[in-house]
Chains A and B, each alone.
Chain A
Amino acid sequence: MKNFIFKGILRDKGRSLLPVIVVSLGALLTVFLYSWVTGVLGDSIEMSSNFEGGDVKVMTKAYAAESNQFPNDLALLHVETLLEELEKVFPEIDWAPRIRFGALADFPDSLGETRGQGPVAGWAVDLLSENSRERERFNLPAAIVRGQVPEKRKEVLLSEELAARFDVNPGDSFTLFGTTMEGGFSFVNFVIAGTVRFGTTGLDRGAVLMDLEDARSAFAMEDAAGEILGFLPEIHYDDRRAQEIVTRFNDRFGQYTENSGEDPEFSPVMLTLSQQEGMAQILVYSQAISAMLIVLFVAAMSIVLWNAGLLGGLRRYTEFGVRIALGESKGHIYGSLIWEALIIGALGSVLGTAIGVALVFIFSARGFDFSGFMQNATILIPGVVRPAVTPVIYYIGFIPGVFSMVLGNMLAGTGIYKRETSRLFNELDV
């Protein structure tokens, strides 16, 4: 029967083409919307994790309380020892010490006098070590607009927007005027190795990215770091896993500073990404929005396709009458109807998913540039958004495509059992 039905669907285009197209469109839209919502929200969270918070972050308690001001006078000390401990206890996590800072970039004229200056937000990360994954987290070298990734000390990356505003180029030098860990003046000359655009307006306005050791030297922070970020091996942020790490950290390191004799205010504290300032709300909000959008859309598509199945079943009311009159059993007719729906749903879903996945791959590679709409954004939102390629996109289109189609036909098919042979000739106007 299955072969017979399958051949019938392929040969009788009038019966199968439109339902297959409708199911394909539904599956395609479902795949793309799921991928889009997951991509946009996931990119924002991933970006926050890579640039700001890690999956978990270790700071001193005092630093954590004012972390939005980058109070490096309250930074972690004896970082090498702490890192060794962390690597021993959590070998699965990649630990990345960083220094965040606010400073003034002063661009000199040919006589060395101030030609222009502007505030910068600085990131000091391990750019030069061979096994460091920080370049990857900052999307280097793909984010380079001009020049190259720093290859030696005293070379930095400047945001393209800042470089353009002050008309500086790779190879030019400028002075960074900041504050040392003790509060003293810090004036250090740096060479611009390249300019970058990260695709997030808040960051692209005035970022400086330098090697960690340069910042340690500039801000008198030897063996110190404002924060140590921990990155779990999972691609996407997993809050439950991060919470487990924090619990283990607190059990193990709760006594750390008390043993070291330092003020408890400066003992290390670990926070998950969701516990960091403003992130909890963003994570809950994005997960809720994502789930709501996907459920709503899948439900809407299911209703549309269910309705298509229902209409398809009703449209064939006469055909079923003739088949009953010819002696075909009602159960056989009902069974063939469900099989047809299953095959059409599967064909449409495969087609729609294939096209949807192809589009997701194309747009994931290209991205949609919305940076023009976010000129004044101050929070970390990616200017270029991409649909996400996740395993779910390969099957989510089948939910409305197959199940709804079959359900619709199952419902429409119940009418078959209400037909009475004695009244068939009347109904069929024979």
Chain B
Amino acid sequence: MKYTTLLVTGLLAGVLFPGTFQASLFAQDNPEALALLEKVDNNQSSQSRIFESSMTIHGRRSDRTLTSKSWSKGEDSALTEYLSPASEAGTKMLKLGDNLWIYTPAADRTIQISGHMLRQSVMGSDLSYEDFMDDRKLTELYHAGTLVQDTLRDTRVMVVELIAKVNDVAYPRQKMWVDAQKYVPLRQEMYARSGQLLKRIDLYDVKRIHNRWFPTRMVYKDMLKTGGGTEFRIESIVFDADIPAYLLSKAGLR
């Protein structure tokens, strides 16, 4: 009788206040899912890192590849310098906390990007500035919900649903397919609050680097854009490296 009453109340609440019901479902983390998420965070987070990458944007008319070098420290500071093609070489993006600046030698100007501009595509790719900026741990941003076993690309995975527990997050809901042995996401689907699928990331080529598993190839697909997606490759990466302080300051932009 007690369970029936609870079920009816829950369903009623779900119908009348769907968001509340959903939030209440995830108000507390599923302990198993949370443990999984912590392991994912351990693989992805570091004190600092320096990496070189290439980004291939599969447009409707042609493909375009950009290479860059990035330095990041903790969750708040990161600098990316584009190395090629020639038209983009020397362009730098600096993130300090919630602020983002871009320096371009073509105009010799440092421009701050803020507000709705942060949701715009970077270089015509399927990544937004917000995607580039948010480097916080998953456990800080999301409640971990239901956990289901599945298989993806012949790999045993755990599928976990994530609901945002903070407001300043680009995607209020996520669904993540995590390698059950290496604790690395192999696929992520990002949803709007309405439930619309906004972005999908498929992660490949998981390698053992400095005692952690790390995916070195990611294919981003903005589901609201036409085009063939954006392929992001980590060419080389060093974790917990020393980064000079000036590099992650506005002085480092020029």
A residues lining the B interface (CB < 8 Å): 62, 73-74, 104, 106, 108, 112-114, 117, 175, 177, 179-180, 182-185, 187-189, 220, 263, 265-266
Contact at B59–A106, with CB atoms within 8 Å? no
Contact at A175–B111, with CB atoms within 8 Å? yes
Choice from B87, B110, B117, B125 contacting A113 with Cβ under 8 Å: B110
Contact at A188–B106, with CB atoms within 8 Å? yes
Given contacts A114-B111, A175-B107, contact A266 B102 (CB under 8 A): no
- Residues of the B chain whose Cβ atoms lie less than 8 Å from the Cβ of A180: 87, 124
**Count, chain B residues at interface, CB 8 A:** 24
Contact at B109–A189, with CB atoms within 8 Å? yes
Contact at A62–B104, with CB atoms within 8 Å? no
- Residues of the B chain whose Cβ atoms lie less than 8 Å from the Cβ of A188: 106-107
Q: Is B112 positioned at the interface, with any CB of A under 8 Å from its CB? A: yes
Q: Determine the residue in chain B with the shortest Cβ distance to A60.
A: B61
Choice from B60, B88, B106, B109 contacting A106 with Cβ under 8 Å: B109
Q: Is B91 positioned at the interface, with any CB of A under 8 Å from its CB? A: yes
Indicate with 1 or 0, residue by residue over B105-137, a CB within 8 angstroms of chain A CB atoms: 011111110000100010111000000000000
- Residues of the A chain whose Cβ atoms lie less than 8 Å from the Cβ of B106: 187-188
B residues lining the A interface (CB < 8 Å): 57, 59-62, 64, 66, 87-88, 91, 102, 104, 106-112, 117, 121, 123-125
Contact at B111–A179, with CB atoms within 8 Å? no
Contact at A187–B104, with CB atoms within 8 Å? yes
- Residues of the A chain whose Cβ atoms lie less than 8 Å from the Cβ of B102: 177, 185, 187
Contact at B124–A175, with CB atoms within 8 Å? no
Top 8 closest A-B pairs, CB basis?
A: A183-B124, A187-B107, A187-B104, A114-B112, A106-B111, A175-B109, A189-B107, A175-B107
Contact at A184–B87, with CB atoms within 8 Å? yes
Choice from A108, A175, A183 contacting B64 with Cβ under 8 Å: A183
Given contacts A104-B117, A188-B106, contact A183 B111 (CB under 8 A): no
Contact at A182–B59, with CB atoms within 8 Å? yes
Q: Taking the nearest CB of chain B, how far is it from the CB of A227, in angstroms? A: 17
- Residues of the B chain whose Cβ atoms lie less than 8 Å from the Cβ of A184: 64, 66, 87-88, 123-124
Contact at B64–A182, with CB atoms within 8 Å? yes
Contact at A177–B111, with CB atoms within 8 Å? yes
CA distance A220 to B91 in the complex (A): 16
- Residues of the B chain whose Cβ atoms lie less than 8 Å from the Cβ of A113: 110, 112
Between A and B, 5 residue pairs with Cβ closer than 8 Å are A62-B60, A180-B87, A183-B124, A187-B102, A265-B60
- Residues of the A chain whose Cβ atoms lie less than 8 Å from the Cβ of B88: 184-185
CA distance A266 to B59 in the complex (A): 13
CA distance A74 to B108 in the complex (A): 29
- Residues of the A chain whose Cβ atoms lie less than 8 Å from the Cβ of B111: 104, 106, 114, 117, 175, 177, 187
- Residues of the B chain whose Cβ atoms lie less than 8 Å from the Cβ of A108: 109
Contact at B61–A266, with CB atoms within 8 Å? yes
CA distance A263 to B107 in the complex (A): 35
Q: Determine the residue in chain B with the shortest Cβ distance to A266.
A: B61
CA distance A183 to B88 in the complex (A): 11
CA distance A52 to B233 in the complex (A): 42
CA distance A183 to B65 in the complex (A): 11
Contact at A74–B61, with CB atoms within 8 Å? yes
Contact at A183–B107, with CB atoms within 8 Å? no
Q: Taking the nearest CB of chain B, how far is it from the CB of A172, in angstroms? A: 14
Contact at A73–B109, with CB atoms within 8 Å? no
Choice from A62, A183, A220 contacting B123 with Cβ under 8 Å: A183
Given contacts A177-B111, A189-B107, 16 further A-B contacts (CB under 8 A): A62-B60, A74-B60, A108-B109, A179-B121, A182-B64, A182-B124, A183-B123, A183-B125, A184-B64, A184-B87, A185-B91, A185-B102, A187-B106, A188-B107, A263-B61, A266-B61
Q: Taking the nearest CB of chain A, how far is it from the CB of B107, in angstroms? A: 4
CA distance A180 to B91 in the complex (A): 14
Q: Taking the nearest CB of chain A, how far is it from the CB of B225, in angstroms? A: 10
Choice from B91, B104, B121 contacting A183 with Cβ under 8 Å: B121
Contact at A73–B112, with CB atoms within 8 Å? no
CA distance A104 to B118 in the complex (A): 12
- Residues of the B chain whose Cβ atoms lie less than 8 Å from the Cβ of A175: 107, 109, 111
- Residues of the B chain whose Cβ atoms lie less than 8 Å from the Cβ of A117: 111-112
Q: Taking the nearest CB of chain B, how far is it from the CB of A120, in angstroms? A: 12
Contact at B109–A179, with CB atoms within 8 Å? no
